[in-house]
Amino acid sequence: MSKELSNEDREIILNSIRDIPDFPKKGIIFKDITTLLNNPKAFKTLMNHLEDRYKEYNLDYIAGIDARGFIFGSILADRLGIGFVPVRKKGKLPYTTVAQKYSLEYGFDEVEIHIDAFRGEKGARVLLIDDLIATGGTAKAGVELINQVEANCVECCFIAELTFLNGKDGIDSPVYSVLKF
């Protein structure tokens, strides 16, 4: 059921991601996925892999984290013929929401989903997706939101993981990262 990326496809995707040194501050090497998004071969390779991996999971919804999780999540949801749910930054959703705070290196932030995000389906099977997992705060908050509305986060998927930050530690769902740095 859990399909891994082939070495050839990994290279195609990896070679499409650009490193930006000293962004957003000195000493950080930023993984820029805009070059993956504008590379049709690499993007299709990635989306084909995700579709192949998750088509047997019997998912009901994909939840994408604001904002790049929206890109991957909505396309994957369409390919799988299921619903997409945005996990948004506080104050961006128009209906009644539930919220979850998470810590940042300089304070706190908050994400929300609608209280009826999964149409009231208790136990709905949800995949949480985003472009990158670093410290894991947003992902942990996303899983907690899914649980708060009585759905089931069956897995968290990230295009890239910065393993040295141990961001997946403490996430109360299995984690799959396409690429690890």
| H or E segment and range at residue 46 | helix 40-54
Confidence of residue 10 (pLDDT cuts 50, 70, 90): very high
Percentages of the chain per state (helix, strand, coil), in multiples of 5: 30, 35, 35
Is the pLDDT at 146 greater than 80? The verdict is: yes
In order of start, what are the domains of the chain with their CATH numbers? Answer: 58-180 (3.40.50.2020)
Provide mean pLDDT across the span 14-18.
98
Both tokens of 16, joined, read 């499409």
Q: Which of the two residues, 1 and 106, has the higher pLDDT score?
A: 106
Give catalytic residues, as residue numbers: 68, 105
- For residue 33, the 8-state DSSP code is T
Q: Give burial (CB, 10 Å; 0-12/13-18/19+) of 77.
A: buried
> So what's the pLDDT on residue 145?
98
Dump pLDDT digits (tens) for 61-91: 999 999 999 999 999 999 999 999 999 999 9
pTM for the structure as a whole? 0.96
Confidence of residue 137 (pLDDT cuts 50, 70, 90): very high
Confidence of residue 168 (pLDDT cuts 50, 70, 90): very high
**Short-list 80, 85, 87, CA closest to 59:** 80
